[in-house]
Amino acid sequence: MDINQRRHIIAVAAGREPADLVITNCKVVDVFRAEIFSGAILVAGDRIASVLNAKTDADRIAQAFKTAVSIYDAGGAYVAPGLIDSHIHIESSFVTPEEFGRLVVPHGTTTVIADPHEIANVGGLPALRYMIRAAERTALDIKYMLPSCVPPTPQEESGARLDADDLAVLADDPAILGLGEFMDYPGVINAHSNVMAKLDLAHSRGMTVDGHAPGVAGRDLDAYAAAGISTDHECSTQSEMLDRLSRGMYVLLRHGSATLDLENLVGAVTPLNSRRCLICSDDRQPRTILEKGHLEEHLRLCVAGGLTPIIALQMATLNAAECYGLNDRGAICPGRRADLVLFDNLSEFTVAATFIRGRRVAERGRYLPKFEREPIAPVASSIRVRDFSVRRLALPLKSATAKVIDILPGGVVTGKGMAKVSRDDAGRFVYSPDSDIVKIAVVERHRNTGRVGLGLLRGYGIRRGAVAFSVAHDTHNIIVTGVNDADMALAVETLIKQGGGAALTLDGKVIGSLPLPVAGLMSDRTGDWVASRLDEIFDLAVNRLGVSPDVDPLLTLGFMSLTVIPELKITDRGLFDVAAFEYTGIDVD
């Protein structure tokens, strides 16, 4: 804001100049005083100049109404600060930042705090620069956190490696807000030198540092908080939530497409601790947004869980702004950005209109600005696989008892199980229709290493064919599971040809696919198109391949390689025991 813009805001507030916009006939949600009153909002440029109460400021409202450049009649709607998603990975929506903005702005979201570590693990700094440029093409204000874990853990290798010196190149970019979730919590707790360098980079600039510490407790949690970690979105129990609140951390109540912790946690939110609680999506697919909305679903769940609408709105606005140092938004008061959402009511939170920087950008579900895309050439052609063939999928076992990754309901946490399995005459695993145990493999796709990691998966439910996916958190190699090697190999080869995405195969034929040409993570098509393809894939996976309807055939598979979520996962190097934080053999000792 330059000096002339500030003079204009002051003049409008003082009544010397007319407002550029008056939003009248509305109920203003004051998140500071936790009150709602009828009144009007005066906007000067992209800022709020005055907030007027119909009971006490009737004359000022009448005068503003006469002189305003533009008037918007809210029709009695509730006007709240624009909603802030405090932690999300845009790449996990399978659409680019421009398209993501087109999807969520009509749902009242005006700011998102995005961690682009998915695409950073594929393409490093050039990929981050692409995300920043793409974000400039949407009305949505996308703030980015510098990815702290590329690769996710020292035991893994992804498409890039970003150390503190690499991150420093972008640290002062206006789009950068802080340091992203520190998934390498053993590195933080043990004060590893590379971790300390990244923390020093953030703290020296006064940045917020996001956390990621599932299951961490006691003295380890003390050490994690002492490192200056400000938040955690990985709480799955109320006890974990309260432990983090007592250590001065903000807790982000997560409700996405795959991970649904908010309903478990909201019962521990009280009027006394609520100001340290935020809401976030983490991952949210287009089909979820189109069916259930974005943060307005979180608000509905908070109210259904016993919170007042104003406390819920504070968690989605003011709390997030304060946590991340966004002092120019998060409330409706003079001087703040005119980022506003109009609700028909505060029960269903149906969005009537969205304003960003004083400009109406959505109304009744329709995104109003002109839509433009950033060229994807810098992040295309990201699939590089060497020496792959069906023979690489053979899994020899020393005995008929082996370790298996157990899918657990309701999230991305897995169990570490053991099971009796079938073998052929050469001692290699073979699928048995009598059990729910199938082969799972991760094929390295960044550096042409030729590595293929093999394991066993239980609880996915597949009984025919195979499913492959190049969105395999967080290194994003190709992950594939199926009942026979031929269909698994065909699914992998299909992804190599189409530049990433998803492929379903059955009896030697491709029966469904979702191309994701942007780094093998995102589509260059609309969210509606992606949602339609996802619906088709879900139907094929369940009804043709027999995948359990209780799991998402793609999201669940993609999280089986996430080595920072307990308990047993798989990478291109083999099985990884998250509790021990080391690789383990598939054979039972």
* Structure token pair of residue 581: 């934080």
Closest CA to 283 of 16, 565, 580: 565
Assess whether pLDDT exceeds 70 at residue 552. yes
List the structure tokens of 428. Answer: 């290699």
Phi, psi of 504, rounded to the nearest 5 degrees:
-115, 130
Share of the chain above pLDDT 70, in %: 100
pTM above 0.75, yes or no: yes
How many CA atoms are closer than 13 Å to the CA of 294, on its beta-carbon side?
30
User: What single letter denotes the amino acid at residue 247?
Assistant: R
Q: What are the pLDDT digits (tens) for 344-391? A: 999 999 999 999 999 999 999 999 999 999 999 999 988 999 999 999
Check residue 318 and report its DSSP letter.
H
Question: Which one, of 15, 23, 98, lies nearest residue 523 by Cα?
Answer: 98
Q: What is the pLDDT of residue 153?
A: 84
Q: CB within 8 A of 130, min separation 6: which ones?
A: 119, 123, 374, 376, 378, 379
Shortest CA distance to 284 belongs to which of 259, 261, 304, 303? 259
Task: Give residue 411's pLDDT band: very low, low, confident or very high (50, 70, 90).
Answer: low
pLDDT of 461 higher than 90: yes
Q: Which residue in the block uniquely carries the two structure tokens 């031929």?
A: 486
**Nearest-5° Cα angle at 483, 481 to 489:** 60
The candidate with the shortest Cα–Cα distance to 563, out of 405, 452, 436, is 405
Task: Write down the mean pLDDT value for the chain.
Answer: 96
pLDDT at 52 over 80: yes
Work out the average pLDDT over 442-470: 97
Quick: pLDDT tens for 295-351. Answer: 999 999 999 999 999 999 999 999 999 999 999 999 999 999 999 999 999 999 999
Residues 154-181: tens digit of each pLDDT: 888 899 999 999 999 999 999 999 999 9
- Return the residue matching tokens 């006469």: 66
Element of type H or E holding 104: helix 97-104
256 falls in which pLDDT band (50, 70, 90)?
very high
- By residue count, the chain amounts to 589
pLDDT at 356: 98
pLDDT tens track for 110-158: 999 999 999 999 999 999 999 999 999 999 999 999 999 999 888 888 9
Q: How confident is the model at residue 579 (pLDDT cuts 50, 70, 90)?
A: confident
Asked if 500 contacts 470 with a C-beta cutoff of 8 angstroms, the reply is yes
Q: Which of 209, 294, 306, 297 is nearest to 248 (CA)?
A: 209
Residue 11: Cβ-neighbour burial (10 angstroms; 0-12, 13-18, 19+): middle
Provide the 8-state DSSP code for 562.
-
Residue 381 has a pLDDT of: 80
Residue 589 predicted with pLDDT over 80: no
| Pair type for strands 359-363 and 208-211 | unpaired
Q: What is the pLDDT of residue 198?
A: 98
Q: DSSP code of 446? A: S
- Give the dihedral of Cα atoms 172, 178, 183, 187; nearest 10 deg: 70
Can the peptide bond before residue 369 be classed as cis, meaning omega within 30 degrees of 0? no
Of 66, 30, 24, the closest CA to residue 43 belongs to 24
What is the pLDDT, as a whole number, of residue 455? 98
Token pair recorded at residue 82: 């624009």
Of 208, 275, 264, the C-alpha closest to 241 is: 264
> Cis (ω within 30 of 0) for the bond into 567?
yes
Please give the span between the terminal C-alpha atoms of the chain, in angstroms, as a whole number. 65
* Contact (Cβ atoms closer than 8 angstroms) between residue 288 and residue 259: no
Q: What is the mean pLDDT of residues 238-244?
A: 98
Which 8-state DSSP code applies to residue 147?
P
Q: Is 589 exposed, middle or buried (0-12, 13-18, 19+ CB in 10 A)?
A: exposed
Question: How far is residue 277's CA from residue 296's CA, in Å, rounded to a whole number?
Answer: 16
CB 259 within 8 A of CB 234: no
pLDDT per residue over 30-40, tens digit each? 999 999 999 99
Residue 410: predicted pLDDT: 65
Residue 434 has a pLDDT of 92
Residues 241, 228: contact at Cβ < 8 Å?
no
Output the pLDDT for position 34: 97
Tell me how far CA of residue 427 lies from CA of 234, 397, 431, 438, in angstroms.
40, 6, 13, 16
C-alpha distances in angstroms, 190 versus 194, 222, 224, 246, 346? 11, 12, 9, 22, 46
Q: Identify the structural domains of the chain with CATH numbers, from first to last.
A: 3-79 (2.30.40.10), 80-358 (3.20.20.140), 380-584 (no CATH)
User: Who contacts 87 (Cβ-Cβ below 8 Å, separation ≥6)?
Assistant: 113, 115, 181, 210, 231, 233, 252, 254, 278, 280, 281, 282
Q: What is the pLDDT of residues 474-512, one digit of tens each?
A: 999 999 999 999 999 999 999 999 999 999 999 999 999
Nearest to 471 by CA among 504, 440, 502, 433: 502
pLDDT in tens, 412-429: 789 999 999 999 999 999
Closest CA to 151 of 561, 577, 580: 561
C-beta separation of 517 from 499 below 8 A: yes
